[in-house]
A and B are shown apart, each in its own frame.
Chain A
């Protein structure tokens, strides 16, 4: 045997043994998520988890930030039964769809009732489908009303208790300020999922609903919903906002507010920390926050948002995946995320945590809002329904001359066709 051959054989042997050792030692856990707001907290948490579970390596795949785009990525993987996917983050509207399609693993075996009771009820119920639980909530979102405390005080206007109040208050301040840069209200009215959250808050705040969940028919063509939509078009956008909001998602609408160019602003809880951060905001310290109003006092409704962890049904190591999910949604991790980002935790106990209370005193006052936040109706056909609603809302808001009643009737008919798909179900 020549020297060269010997050496190459030896090298091959060493490499082979090395690979075998590495493979035997590490188990990879694949986790699809978005870019986190406080990446260092996540890095640290994952490192801690890996330390507690020797031989486990969490491989993170960072997906798109947009919920819709992340949804497309995940459903692609799940549809193809990709075994290289164990754990993923889920928007609050996905669990019933993922459950129905057979993509998400039912977690009741791990996530038992006593454990579930430690969480806020609204996100837990949004994660359940036909009596089974498919996800563990990480943080909760609810629509909130932000306002310029300084401007309201300056003009002796009190925080509005109803939507018509808000329009009047904004008009008063706009008239007195005479600032061409200033608009009365900024929110999310682009044709995308956030539009449904925003519009749902007006419709529910007027005693209406998106659809009737007992009879499974659309409720968009009912008077309460019609009046709410008309109010948004004619008064919110027509009188106190500017047309730019029709292209706004959260970041653009928040930028307008933190730039000092909007009096009122609707957003999720994360906006509080941003608006009060002098590095990112011109109005730090001048911000007020209150539950969203309704059309009569006390009738306000907030859309429930938030993110959860789910496990793929095609995961080859569900037990390990569960350990990871339990770790990431555990008290320790939720607390670290809350302290770093101001995101609202889903574990009730954390609302009494002295450190969180010290740093984010507003969170506790929001607990009532979180408890009452209304999930968007849970159904496996949520996405098609949402697309129909987005189309309807966007067309009546962006085209001021459209006939709302007629468009609503059309949208309702389309929604009913989709809802009818659920009627003839032979339950598996």
Chain B
């Protein structure tokens, strides 16, 4: 008993060390730094404990407000669309047809391409002179070409489009796994009872898919909160700060401006936001399960 416990501990040790050094330590360190004023380019100011000053600054920083707003809008628009499209793709891929295996692989391509590469591709697509979007909209009539990345609203929409293209396959993958877990017996029974396709979808597929949908929602939300590379490559936060999402703002503060304390406060805020959203989802997840059990 004792020795087996010791063995268990021994085998767990590597993962403890791994999680501790790559996950817990950075989070704790970010928390610690967020209470200091630390500016790399002004070393003579030293590392001064300032309590909550970075956070009170954050609360009164209009740029941070704008960044939080941009991030939340980004999440609110992209995630529902990703899940809807993902659901559609998953339903199609769940049908038996010739070439399904190949199609399943093809659908995953956008997700497999490194984001920096696909962002660069999207930057070209939205180019104001030789971009595909302009060509599709206006053909050769270049006098009517628009410049999506030069307009604050269109730039945000462009980034959202790239994000949806890139991550819908991920949502589709999770939902497809959920679909495959639903037993065919249920559909057969429903057919015997004379249910229409819509009724089957509404009363069998959707309820049983809830866990998969919630899981996709959870992953996508955490991921979208940290959106960075698309912005970095496509707009650098502009124009007019329209695409200056929180994570990019934090990056600029920490790495470009050397304001490590303030940047850490932003990082902690992102962390707190994703924690709160995750907990809320998990709660909803649990409740939905309870509801299913009680008739």
Contact = CB atoms under 8 A, between A and B. Distances in A.
A180 B143 contact: yes
Contact count band on A: 35 or more
Given A71-B256, A75-B258, A256-B129, A190 B42 contact: no
B42 A181 contact: no
A72 interface: yes
A367 interface: no
A76 B45 CA distance: 20
Contact of A192 (B45, B145, B238, B259): B238
Contact of A101 (B43, B149, B237): B43
Q: Is the interface of A mostly helix, strand, loop or mixed?
A: helix
A362 interface: no
A246 B45 CA distance: 37
Contact of A72 (B142, B238, B256, B259): B256
A381 B255 CA distance: 13
A223 interface: no
Contacts of A102: 43
Interface residues of B, number: 35
A71 B252 CA distance: 11
Interface string B31-55: 0000000011111110000000000
A191 B236 contact: yes
Given A192-B236, A421-B39, A387 B255 contact: no
A398 to B, nearest CB: 4
Interface string A66-103: 00100110011001000000000000000001001110
Contact of B241 (A97, A256, A394): A394
Interface in A338-396: 380-381, 383-384, 387, 390-391, 394-395
Interface in B249-282: 252, 255-259
A151 to B, nearest CB: 18
B27 interface: no
Interface string A251-263: 0100110010000
Interface in A306-329: none
Given A101-B41, A191-B239, A181 B259 contact: no
18 contacts: A72-B255, A76-B255, A101-B40, A190-B236, A192-B238, A244-B128, A247-B147, A247-B155, A247-B238, A380-B42, A381-B39, A387-B257, A394-B240, A397-B239, A398-B152, A398-B238, A399-B152, A425-B44
Interface of B: 39-45, 62-63, 127-129, 142-143, 145, 147, 149-152, 155, 235-242, 252, 255-259
Given A381-B41, A381-B257, A384-B259, 5 more contacts: A243-B151, A247-B149, A390-B238, A391-B63, A395-B241
Interface of A: 68, 71-72, 75-76, 79, 97, 100-102, 180-181, 190-192, 242-248, 252, 255-256, 259, 380-381, 383-384, 387, 390-391, 394-395, 397-399, 410, 421-422, 425-428
